[in-house]
Amino acid sequence: MSLFDDVVQRGTRLLAGRTSRRSVLGRLGQTLGGAAVAYPILPVDRVARFAHAAGDPAATDNTACEYWRYCAFDGFLCTCCGGGVAGCPAGTTVSSVTWVGTCLNPIDSKHYLISYNDCCGKSSCGRCACNTNLGERPAYLMGVHNDINWCMAEPGSQIYHCTVAAVVGVGEDSSG
C-alpha cells in the first residue's frame, strides 16, 4: 500500500471514530440553515408572500373604493356603470384631459402611475361614488386635481358619467 493510501486510510478511520451519523447530519443542517439566512436572495418561490392579498378588496375587487388603482379617485367607478377598470361604458367617450395618481399595488408591492379619465356624454351614473384623493391637490396643480368635471374639455359631450383608472407607468424598483 502506498504512503498516500496509508495516510488517507488512517485519517478516515480516525475521523470515523470521532464522529457519529447524528453529528454529521446536525452539522449539515446548521450549514444549510446558515446559508439560507446569509443568502436570502437565492431563487425561491415567493408566491406565498402575496397569498394574503387574494381575499383583499384592495387587490382584487375593482368595484370597491379600496381597490388599489383608485387611491387618488374622485367620482363614480365605471366598473359599477357598465364599463371596465380602464374602459368607458358604451355610449360614453373618454376625456382627453385627465389627472394622475401614484398607487401601490399590493400584489407586487410596486408603485404605478394611474391616469384617471372621466367618461363623458351620458348623465351621471350615480353608483359606487368614491373619493380617496391620495396625493390630490387643489386646482393650482391641475394634473393632480380631481374635484372637477374633466368632460368640460370635450366638445359635444361635456356631461360627466363615471371615471376609469388606467395604468400608464410603473415606478422604478429602488431595491437594486
User: What are the residue ranges of helices labelled H in 39-69?
Assistant: 57-60
Q: Smaller CB distance to ligand ABN: residue 105 or 117?
A: 117
Site membership for ligand ABN, residue 154 (CB under 6 A): no
Only segment of 8-16, 29-37, 132-140, 141-149 that touches ligand ABN (CB under 6 A):
141-149
The one catalytic residue in 74, 99, 150, 173 is: 99
Rounded Cα distance between 80 and 62, Å, is 9
Contact residues for 73 (Cβ-Cβ < 8 A; gap 6+):
65, 101, 116, 130, 131, 132, 133, 146, 163, 165
Instruction: Tell me: does residue 100 bind ligand ABN (CB under 6 A).
Output: no
Q: Catalytic site residue 68?
A: no
Indicate if 99 belongs to the active site: yes
**In the complex, which residues of this chain contact ligand ABN (CB under 6 A)?**
74-75, 118, 146-150, 160, 163
